[in-house]
Amino acid sequence: MKKIVLTGFESFGGSEINPSILACKEFRHKNIGEYVFAVYEIPLKFDEIKRTLESIIEKEKPQIVICTGQSPRSVISLERVAVNIADITRSAYNCGAKPRDVILEETGDDGYFSTLPIRRIFDELEKNQIPTEISNSAGTYGCNQIFYHLMYLLNLKNYKIPAGFVHVPSLPEQVVGKRIPSMSLELIVKALKTIIETTINDIEQKAE
């Protein structure tokens, strides 16, 4: 069997839930064709993200990696590029860390591009009536951090696999009384399934 690693973050910012990990958990003990899932919840702690991710990649040796996280956006955001910086001003990691102008990898490039077929994914999501965008900024917080560490690690080890990061909106119950957009967990899971299936199809077509 081939392995797909899915990651989502633990809750943060006073919320008791995080839609990213909730959506990923929907794929536990399931498979799509010959692909099975390894689902991991990532601590939103500055010094733990890199080593947690490294241990996951070393253990699972996956064929696809899709990391996810929550954003205040209204759509599924397919992140194009991760940048080599951590810079927090308005919030903090769950450990209390607030890095300012911190380089994530001293030997890393300024940025790394997603190797997911994001344009094909975008087209499939729109075809399935799922609001989406291709985003050119994953921010400079935990989501960009795991995205950058992922692409740096795969590049360092010369792993030629599809990998990248996807932002998902908040859940309706998280935004009651707030002027923040949301999306149902059901639709987020549908989007993630579309992302996975499109990536698998892209691999298979390139292998023909």
pLDDT in tens, 137-174: 999 999 999 999 999 999 999 999 999 999 999 999 99
**CA-to-CA distance for 98 and 70, rounded, in angstroms?**
18
pLDDT band at 94 (very low <50, low <70, confident <90, very high): confident
151: CB partners within 8 A, 6+ apart: 82, 112, 113, 114, 115, 163, 164
Q: Is a pLDDT exceeding 90 seen at residue 92?
A: no
**Domain spanning 2-207, CATH class:** alpha beta
| Structure-block tokens of residue 207 | 């292998």
pTM listed for this prediction: 0.96
Q: Mean pLDDT over all residues of the chain?
A: 96
**CA-to-CA distance for 147 and 154, rounded, in angstroms?**
11
State the DSSP code for 31: E
Q: Comparing 73-82, 93-102, 108-117, 119-128, which segment has the lowest mean pLDDT?
A: 93-102
CB 185 within 8 A of CB 88: no
Show which residues are catalytic: 79, 143, 167
